[in-house]
Amino acid sequence: MKFILFLLIFQVGDKDFKKISYFFKTHQFDSSIFYLNPLLKKNSQDSFGYLYLGKSYLFKKDYKKAKEIFLVAKNKFLSFDSLHYYYFFSAFKEWEKDTIKLRNLKKEINNFVDSLLNNADEKSLSLAYRLIDFLDTNYPQKIVALILEKFPESKIGYQIIGNIFYDSLYPIWYNDTLKIEYLKRFLEKFKTTEWRFNAYQFLLTSLYNLKNYQDLFFFTEKMVKEMPKDVRALNFVASLYLRCETLFAKSLEYSFWALSSIKNFKKPKNLPEEQWQLIFPKLLPDIFFNIARSYYYQKKYLLAEKYIKKALKFEFDVDNDATKAPYYYYSGLIKEKTGRIKAAIKDYGKTLIIGDVNNFYPPKAESALKRIFGDTIEIVSYLRKIFKYRGPIFTDITKEVGLEKEKGGRVAFGDFDNDGYEDLLLNGSRLFKNDSGRRFLDKTKESGIYGNNNGGLFADLNNDGYLDIVCLSNEKKGEKVFKNNGDGTFTDMSEIAKIYDDYPSEGLGMGDIDNDGLLDIYIANYEIWEEHKYLPDFLYKNLGDFKFV
């Protein structure tokens, strides 16, 4: 990908590249078309200009125009794989309801793939794999087999093996016995893939869960022997030995081994950059953390404190799910063991304040504080005092307002009946009226809100003073739009709104992007993590009267 981006900058220039990237990030595809056309007139040999022009029309769903551009481009730049792929993709989308044209297109794709399989080099097989969705059923297995035979360590081989790995693992995710058997077979079958690191991780975790220490130690040493310079592996083994609560010296050995190796440790070839940026910032502080824990359990508290301080010097940004809560917790343990109780309390308090993504260390910190205070003091009130907390304080009234049995991950608030109290929309599927702040009443059936939805928002779409509702639907019939009738009921306007999004959606936002006084709709879609690519988002302009484009 870095190579491709470099070429694009070289061909269209850094300023132009930034412009085009901005247009794509903000889905201003008309602007990118307007910008790219004169550039291509100046330089007709700009292959990436054609690619982004075609993709602009593709994302606008002008499949015919996109196909025409990709047809010219693929014949002009024969070795540019993406142009071939997007030509077939555009043609497929244009003709997907025309049986005759679609049949002829499939024949064309099949013939093209036959020529790729005759070449059978890495580039040809990678393109063939990208075209699998358009092929007859006898092709995919043959393509996958050829890639795994000839190029298992290629980028596409990495992707295929990753799919095999997780597709086989998910059905037995909670069965450690079955996972162990599968992972042993995986390691035996795939001798060189980068996925071996992941396989060892899952295998060793399952062996630990079942307390099968004999096999655990055998495969741990096998992993280290196979990956002696992989800091991830050394760190993982050191941490695992700490969990065994007896092998502290062995953990220390691997931690210092990792420390001596980290300077020269590089990103594995096929690991996506996004994943590497999540992994790498944690490696060094976690090495210090493991060293500190090893010394702590050996009761070498001065050395333990030296290394926990090193770990605490690191900061994690908002794009990383790591926090310093584990480090503060062990810092508290060390200080408690050395008699510095007030300092330990502060560290335990910081553990509670910061938290961690798995909520593993905050309960431990809370237990430590209860151990110190017993029943003599209310812990949270005390922590507010020593940290000089002056912010808001909340009281749990879930049961009092009648919501203790309700479950949902996506919540929206809005006063849909204009009585001055914020009402509740749960998962875009259930509507609760706020009864003057006393309780919430389920008004889903009476209101006319329905559907298998995945979240929603309140918004006044027609400026009549009443909050309407937009919901992300799981039914593949378009998103749900409900008009507020002003009497506590809603009318389904989805057929008029025509907000169709074929992709799985994760987020919804509304705002007036063009200052015309009407709220527009933005839909954010998920990524396909197996293929390391993002699905396009969509922006719908409000034309009034619940019509969107």
Contact call for residues 353 and 324 (beta carbons, < 8 A): no
Same domain, 247 and 293: yes
Q: Say yes or no to pLDDT of 3 above 80.
A: no
Same domain, 475 and 359: no
Quick one: pLDDT at residue 133?
A: 84
Q: Is residue 466 included in any domain, yes or no?
A: yes
Same domain, 75 and 180: no
Q: Is residue 394 included in any domain, yes or no?
A: no
Residue 143: CATH number of its domain: 1.25.40
Provide mean pLDDT across the span 194-206: 97
**Of 141, 168, 195, which residue sits at a domain end?**
168
Q: Dump pLDDT digits (tens) for 354-385.
A: 999 889 999 999 999 999 998 767 888 889 99
Same domain, 146 and 196: no
Q: Say yes or no to pLDDT of 165 above 60.
A: yes
Contact call for residues 493 and 499 (beta carbons, < 8 A): no
Same domain, 137 and 248: no
Same domain, 164 and 184: no
Residues in contact with 540: Cβ distance below 8 Å, sequence separation at least 6, in sequence order:
499, 520, 521, 522, 523, 548, 549
Q: Is residue 8 included in any domain, yes or no?
A: no
Sign of CA dihedral 369, 373, 374, 375: negative
Same domain, 123 and 144: yes
Contact call for residues 509 and 479 (beta carbons, < 8 A): no
Q: Say yes or no to pLDDT of 329 above 90.
A: yes
Q: pLDDT band at 48, cuts 50/70/90?
A: confident
Q: Which residue, 15, 69, 9, 62, is CA-closest to 44?
A: 69
Residue 354 structural domain:
175-387
Q: Is residue 96 included in any domain, yes or no?
A: yes
Q: Is residue 549 included in any domain, yes or no?
A: no
Identify the bridge partners of residue 547 per DSSP, sorted by sequence position. 544
Q: Dump pLDDT digits (tens) for 276-300.
A: 999 999 999 999 999 999 999 999 9
Q: Dump pLDDT digits (tens) for 220-252.
A: 999 999 999 999 999 999 999 999 888 999 999
Q: pLDDT band at 14, cuts 50/70/90?
A: low
Quick one: pLDDT at residue 1?
A: 33
Same domain, 214 and 248: yes
Q: Which residue, 172, 127, 173, is CA-closest to 151?
A: 127
Burial of 313 (0-12, 13-18, 19+ CB in 10 A): exposed
**Of 354, 372, 387, which residue sits at a domain end?**
387
Same domain, 238 and 368: yes
Q: pLDDT band at 533, cuts 50/70/90?
A: low
Counting the structural domains of the chain, the total is: 3
**Of 168, 183, 203, which residue sits at a domain end?**
168
Same domain, 254 and 366: yes
Same domain, 164 and 186: no
Q: What is the 3-state secondary structure (H, E, C) of 482-545?
A: EEECCCCCEEECHHHHCCCCCCCEEEEEEECCCCCCCCEEEEEECEEHHHCEECCCEEECEEEC
Provide mean pLDDT across the span 71-76: 92
C-alpha to C-alpha distance for 201 and 206, rounded to whole angstroms:
9
**Prediction pTM value:** 0.71
Instruction: Name the DSSP letter for residue 439.
Output: -
Q: Say yes or no to pLDDT of 204 above 90.
A: yes
Pick the most confident of 9-18, 46-55, 261-270: 261-270
Q: pLDDT band at 469, cuts 50/70/90?
A: very high
Same domain, 373 and 432: no
Report the mean per-residue pLDDT for the chain: 91
C-alpha to C-alpha distance for 245 and 516, rounded to whole angstroms:
65
241-279 burial, b at 16+ Cβ within 10 Å, e below that, comes to bbebeebbebbbbbbbbbbebbeebeeeebebeeeeeeb
